[in-house]
């Protein structure tokens, strides 16, 4: 195996056709690189000329210590981490490839140094984190909900929802608001509604509007849409920012609370997003809808009503006292809660 750093101009050419997350795209990585202090390092693993692994890593040095992350903290990105593209269907060869590739990248960034803290949230596509554990890092499971939309009719999907959710959706023609796709102004309103919710909880907003705007501009209409719920007079009620890889749609940000209405605007927003995935020819390659997190007990009761499968992914962290202290410092001084928490 040969492991080398790749310029971002070459990244897209080795990205697989499917089974990567939206933040693995070169468009997303370019925006991350421009906004995140530190250095974005892109590693590729090859056997001959055939790519067998990709691993974006962000490295930041401060006060004599180094923080290695994937994704970088403070941008509202839930998962990134390594991608594997094993050339053999045999389990043994896949495991050897995974172990060799991960260890080569960890060595390249000197992840074992006593002055280095590492934190990674891997994609659900990365199903074997044991090489991190064998290298001395803590591995913790986390979860999201994913709806399988392949070959499913809208009625079949509706029947998989909870009874109260089905009831809301069947009232969609009677509500006093409308759902539509919208542009950058609606994206900003959606962002501000999210930021307001953080401030109401006494928390620092974990990402900037400048980052969100540039990300949406970079991804373009092929990889990002904004959906809004509006009152008859055009007043913003709620919005959702949806991002797309080649096969998965992600509910990334949004969903303002509104308990004053008998039918949840957020439920109808999610339903419209699902309708579009199933029926819009431009989204024909999308076969799943990822609700992006299922770790917050307060939120999972609602998200589980959509009938998605509970899907695991892994958090990898340095262990020991230094990591515990770093979490407390970040929680106290930077965000109001730890960026190591699974829902940041």
d(C-alpha 62, C-alpha 57), whole Å: 17
The reply to whether 150-286 shares the fold of 2-142+314-335 is yes
Alpha helices in 52-121 (DSSP H): 91-108
Element (H, E) at 29: helix 26-35
Place of tokens 């990898």: 316
| Residue 326: predicted pLDDT | 58
Residue 191 has pLDDT above 70, yes or no: yes
Preceding peptide of 71 cis, ω within 30°: yes
Architecture per CATH, 150-286: 3-Layer(aba) Sandwich (3.40)
Question: Once rounded to an integer, what is the mean pLDDT over residues 184-200?
Answer: 93
d(C-alpha 71, C-alpha 79), whole Å: 6
d(C-alpha 143, C-alpha 140), whole Å: 10
Name the average pLDDT for the chain.
91
Q: Is the pTM of this model over 0.75?
A: yes
| Residue 341: predicted pLDDT | 39
**Under 8 Å CB-to-CB from 78, ≥6 apart: which residues?**
71, 121, 144, 292, 293
2-142+314-335 adopts what CATH topology?
A: Aminopeptidase (3.40.630)
Residue 52 has pLDDT above 50, yes or no: yes
**Under 8 Å CB-to-CB from 204, ≥6 apart: which residues?**
198, 334, 335, 336
24-49 pLDDT, tens digit per residue, is: 999 999 999 999 999 999 999 999 99
Q: What are the extents of the domains in the chain?
A: 2-142+314-335, 150-286
Q: What percent of the chain has pLDDT over 90?
A: 80
Neighbour tally for 160: CB within 10 Å: 16
Q: What is the DSSP string of 161-188?
A: S-HHHHHHHHTGGGSS-EEEEE-HHHHH
| Residue 257: predicted pLDDT | 76
Strands 288-290 and 248-254: parallel
Question: Once rounded to an integer, what is the mean pLDDT over residues 45-72?
Answer: 94
Residue 137 has pLDDT above 50, yes or no: yes
Classify 52 as helix, strand or coil.
strand
Question: Once rounded to an integer, what is the mean pLDDT over residues 283-309?
Answer: 94
| Residue 323: predicted pLDDT | 60
Question: Once rounded to an integer, what is the mean pLDDT over residues 190-219?
Answer: 92
Query: Taking Cα atoms as reference points, which of 85, 81, 145 lies closest to residue 296?
Result: 145
271-293 pLDDT, tens digit per residue, is: 999 999 999 999 999 999 999 99
d(C-alpha 180, C-alpha 145), whole Å: 24
Residue 301 has pLDDT above 60, yes or no: yes
Token readout for 170 is 């069947």
Neighbour tally for 295: CB within 10 Å: 15
């Amino acid at each position: 195996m040969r492991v080398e750093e790749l310029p971002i101009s070459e990244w897209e050419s080795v990205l697989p056709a499917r089974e990567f997350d939206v933040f693995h795209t070169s468009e997303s990585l370019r925006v991350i690189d421009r906004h995140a202090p530190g250095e974005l390092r892109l590693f590729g693993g090859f056997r001959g000329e055939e790519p067998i692994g990709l691993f974006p890593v962000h490295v930041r040095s401060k006060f004599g210590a180094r923080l290695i992350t994937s994704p970088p903290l403070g941008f509202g990105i839930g998962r990134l981490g390594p991608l594997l593209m094993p050339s053999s269907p045999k389990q043994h060869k896949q495991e050897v490839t995974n172990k060799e590739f991960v260890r080569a990248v960890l060595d390249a960034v000197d992840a074992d140094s006593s002055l280095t803290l590492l934190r990674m949230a891997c994609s659900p596509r990365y199903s074997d984190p044991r090489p991190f554990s064998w290298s001395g890092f803590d591995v913790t499971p986390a979860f999201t909900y994913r709806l399988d939309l392949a070959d499913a009719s809208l009625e079949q999907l509706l029947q998989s929802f909870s009874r109260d959710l089905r009831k809301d959706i069947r009232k969609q023609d009677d509500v006093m608001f409308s759902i539509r796709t919208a542009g950058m102004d609606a994206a900003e309103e959606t962002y501000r509604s999210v930021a307001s919710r953080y401030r109401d909880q006494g928390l620092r907003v974990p990402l900037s509007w400048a980052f969100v705007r540039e990300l949406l501009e970079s991804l373009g209409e092929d990889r990002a849409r904004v959906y809004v719920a509006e009152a008859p007079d055009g007043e913003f009620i709620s919005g959702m920012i949806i991002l797309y890889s080649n096969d998965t749609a992600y509910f990334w940000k949004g969903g303002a609370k509104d308990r004053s209405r008998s039918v949840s605007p957020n439920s109808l927003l999610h339903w419209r997003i699902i309708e579009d995935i199933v029926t819009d020819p431009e989204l024909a390659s999308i076969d799943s809808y990822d609700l992006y997190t299922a770790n917050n007990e307060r939120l999972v009761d609602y998200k589980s009503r959509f009938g998605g499968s509970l899907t695991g992914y892994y958090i990898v962290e340095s262990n020991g006292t230094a990591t515990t202290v770093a979490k407390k410092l970040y929680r106290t001084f930077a965000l109001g809660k730890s960026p190591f928490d699974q829902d940041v």
